[in-house]
Structure 1
Amino acid sequence: MSEAVFSQIAMAVLLTVLIGFMGFIVWDLAKKSQAGRFGTIALFIVLGAGVIGFIVKTILVEVMGL
């Protein structure tokens, strides 16, 4: 396995773990602050927008072939 393939696999796996951990942090924040259902949804939407933006950017770069 070449270094480039290893890096690509490691990046995908570690980014997935990081995004999952960030989701857990948001859930824990909502739980500890007693945000309720609406507050929890708002937290996930607002704080998850950065993750969604990162994913969309990655997809657009791959589609455009830059």
Structure 2
Amino acid sequence: MIFGFTEAQISGFFLTYGVGAFILYMLFIIGQLAWESKAGRFGTFVLFLGLGVGFVGFLAKIVIQWWMER
């Protein structure tokens, strides 16, 4: 027990909110890359599509878990 929480509670919290915060930070970084490189609309779309496609898997996992637990 750390600060009154079990290891399972801590890992569940960080797997949900920690990874979610990391995804938001990565979206900010991708936006900065597009801005600094003057990528334009299509280039920005390609950057977000190519670098952000991994986020879809994490979001799908959350939706599938929610759907199966209902």
- For the aligned pair, the TM-score class normalised by the smaller chain equals 0.7 to 0.9
The alpha-carbon deviation at position 2 of structure 1 amounts to 2.5
Q: CA deviation at 1:5?
A: 1.5
* Deviating more after overlay: 23-32 vs 44-53: 44-53
| Range moving further from structure 2, 1-10 or 31-40 | 1-10
- Residue of structure 1 equivalent to 2:41: 37
Runs of at least 5 residues in structure 1 that lack an aligned partner in the other structure: none
The correspondence for 1:4, drawn from 3, 8, 11, is 8
User: Is residue 56 of structure 2 the alignment partner of residue 52 of structure 1?
Assistant: yes
TM-score where L is the length of structure 1:
0.75
Report the Cα distance in structure 1 between the residues aligned to 2:7 and 2:16, rounded to whole angstroms.
Answer: 14
- Describe how 1:8-27 pairs up with structure 2 within 5 A: 8-27=12-31
Equivalent-residue separation in structure 2 for 1:30 and 1:14 (angstroms)? 25
Aligned-residue sequence identity (percent) comes to 40
Structure 2: give runs of 5+ residues left out of the alignment. none
How far apart are residue 7 of structure 1 and its match? Answer: 1.6
- Give the ranges of 4+ consecutive aligned residues of structure 1 lying more than 6 Å apart after TM superposition: none
Q: Please, what is the CA RMSD of the aligned residues?
A: 2.0
